[in-house]
Amino acid sequence: LSTFTPKDPNFKNRVRENFNLQPMMKTLGVNLDVVEAGKVIFTVQHHNPITQQHGFLHGGGVAAILDSACGYAAMSLLGEMEEILTVEFKTNFLAPALGETYRFEGSVVKPGRTLVVTEGKAFAIKDGVEKQVAMMTATMMPIMGRDDVKPAY
């Protein structure tokens, strides 16, 4: 379905390597399932450390995972020396997030040299039934050659 042309033919490996360097993705138990040009899909198994007080997946956690899905969707279209920073995002929560498994999709809506506009969708799968639980719109900024966007600790 994707109609974007990635600048870097090696984008799938580059996205996966970058993803593997994000400690936060491990902390949240995120698995990178699919990388296409302009789109990524994550899956997460329900586990207690990312829940809130009613046992739902924490809404802020849903947003954190969608933010990364949107960021990697944007990164898939960049050149190999470019990085991504999130400018802003907004999340609407459609239903409490409760399932055995969750799927998170990040997609590029509008690529650009200065800014990339993306959207994300989160789904809970419970007893084989899938339900959308959140939606996001996010603005991403490609960056290159900024000294402060390097590993720091």
| Binding to a copy of itself, residues 41-100 (CB under 8 A) | 46, 48-56, 58-61, 63-68, 83, 85-96, 98
Residue 109 CB, shortest distance to a copy of itself, in Å, is: 7
Count of residues that interact with a copy of itself, criterion CB under 8 A: 58
Nearest-5° Cα angle at 21, 71 to 149: 65
Residue 96 CB, shortest distance to a copy of itself, in Å, is: 6
Three-class secondary structure of residue 111 per DSSP: coil
Is the torsion defined by CA of 13, 84, 8, 77 positive or negative?
A: positive
**Of 8 and 119, which has the nearer Cβ to a copy of itself?**
119
Residue 8 CB, shortest distance to a copy of itself, in Å, is: 17
| Binding to a copy of itself, residues 102-131 (CB under 8 A) | 109-110, 114-115, 117, 119
Residue 4 CB, shortest distance to a copy of itself, in Å, is: 14
3-state secondary structure 16-49: HHHHHCCHHHHHCCEEEEEEECCEEEEEEECCHH
**Residue 136 to residue 149: CA distance in whole angstroms:** 24
Q: Are 66 and 93 in contact (CB under 8 A)?
A: no
CB neighbourhood size of 107 (10 A): 20
Cα first-last separation, the chain: 39
Residue 122 CB, shortest distance to a copy of itself, in Å, is: 12
Residues engaged in binding a copy of itself (CB under 8 A): 18, 21-24, 26-27, 46, 48-56, 58-61, 63-68, 83, 85-96, 98, 109-110, 114-115, 117, 119, 132, 135, 137, 139, 141, 148-153
